[in-house]
Amino acid sequence: MPLLPHPEFRSAPTPEAPLWRYLSLPKFLSLLQQQALYFSSLEYLARSDPFEGTLPPARFAHRAWKSIEELPPEVRSKLPDYLKRGETDLDLAFTRLLDFHELRIRQAYAYRRSFFLNCWHQNEHESAAMWSLYSRANEGIAIVSSEDKFRLALAATPIDVYGGCVQYGDYGSAEFTIDDGNAFRPVLYKRQSFAHEREYRLVNWDTSVTHKDIDAVNGVFTWEGHIVPDVSGSGRITVGRSESEIEAIKPTPGIVVPCQLRELIARVVVSPLAEDWFFDVVAAASSAHGITVPVERSKLADEPLR
């Protein structure tokens, strides 16, 4: 599948806007040898940023509500939405509201096991900060691509991939929240402290982690206390896994996503502090794996005119 559009994903400023990926030499060589991008599990990325994929603290406000009287007016007005037809007990609705908010928090944590990301830096120019953050100072490599090139490079990829810019928010503010209407939303937000990354994310959602297929037996589907007549016509339906089921699944560190590197890479840039031998290794490896764009030296270390 090509890079797919999705309303939750904010596109780069233009389809041709440069997107940078800063790499160490081993990761660059792995990219060339496998002809594939490595998508890290969001669960594993959360080891360096525990807020990855979670809801902000403002979404925990319900834990302070001990009674209906303590609800903010805008929340209280929605209590009837938590009642079934014919029900009138607002205390029951209040309990369901609290349970619903807890469920959304638990789902966000559980769903981190199902998302896989490949991260880029959106910038018209190379970044001195990114060189130092994501590669060894004198042995770094950056590849430059764009959304247009992603579409070409991923055209034959057998999984769904979405792409968009990360949004940054003040997670310490009671005013900042993330709606729970779509599973992608927590994946596309980070704390304001990371805004310097100007991150663009390629995302794959492995729905086999969050959902499962159920086969009909004797004309009915049975799972977790549900009994539903088979009107599917195929004898199989897909249902969501419980949070307990998802949490019991061992996280996968990452996935390898094949792509056309000749279509992906617009430029190869070598660290401003790299020695000649390192530049030659990168150029030779690129050429050996069919990369025809020239390998460039970073201009960050250029001397000013005198």
Q: What percent of the chain has pLDDT over 90?
A: 87
**Over residues 178-183, mean pLDDT:** 89
157 Cβ neighbours under 8 A, 6+ residues apart: 1, 2, 257, 258, 259
169 falls in which pLDDT band (50, 70, 90)?
Answer: very high
Check the CA dihedral 8-12-14-19 and report its sign.
negative
pLDDT digits (tens, 9 = 90+) for 42-67: 999 999 999 999 999 999 999 999 99
Tens digit of each residue's pLDDT (9 = 90 or more) over 68-123: 999 999 999 999 999 999 999 999 999 999 999 999 999 999 999 999 999 999 99
| Cα torsion angle, 194, 15, 135, 131, sign | negative
Phi/psi at 3 (5° precision) = -65, 120
More confident of the two residues 133 and 24: 24
Tens of pLDDT along 236-266?
Answer: 999 999 999 999 999 999 999 999 999 999 9
- What confidence score (pLDDT) does residue 126 get? 92
Q: Which H or E element spans position 99?
A: helix 90-111
Question: Residue 270 above 90 pLDDT?
Answer: yes
Average pLDDT, integer, range 23-29: 95
What pLDDT, on the 0 to 100 scale, is given for residue 303?
77
Taking only the tens place, the pLDDT of each residue in 117-156 is 999 999 999 998 899 887 776 889 999 999 999 999 999 9
Residue 105's contacts (CB-CB under 8 Å, 6 or more residues apart) are 54, 55, 59, 60
Residue 114 and residue 116: Cα distance in Å, rounded?
7
Kindly state the average pLDDT of the residues 8-12: 97
Instruction: Note the pLDDT of residue 101.
Output: 95
What percent of the chain is helix, strand and coil (3-state, nearest 5)? 35, 25, 40
pLDDT tier at 1, thresholds 50, 70, 90: low
Q: What is the pLDDT of residue 46?
A: 96
The confidence score (pLDDT) of residue 2 equals: 79
**Burial group, residue 194, by CB count within 10 angstroms (0-12, 13-18, 19+):** middle
Whole-number percent of the chain with pLDDT over 70: 99
Q: What would you report as the CA-atom Rg of the chain, rounded to the nearest whole angstrom?
A: 24
Q: How far apart are CA 305 and CA 302, in angstroms?
A: 9
What is the C-alpha separation between 45 and 51, in angstroms, rounded?
Answer: 10
- Residue 82 and residue 95: Cα distance in Å, rounded? 9
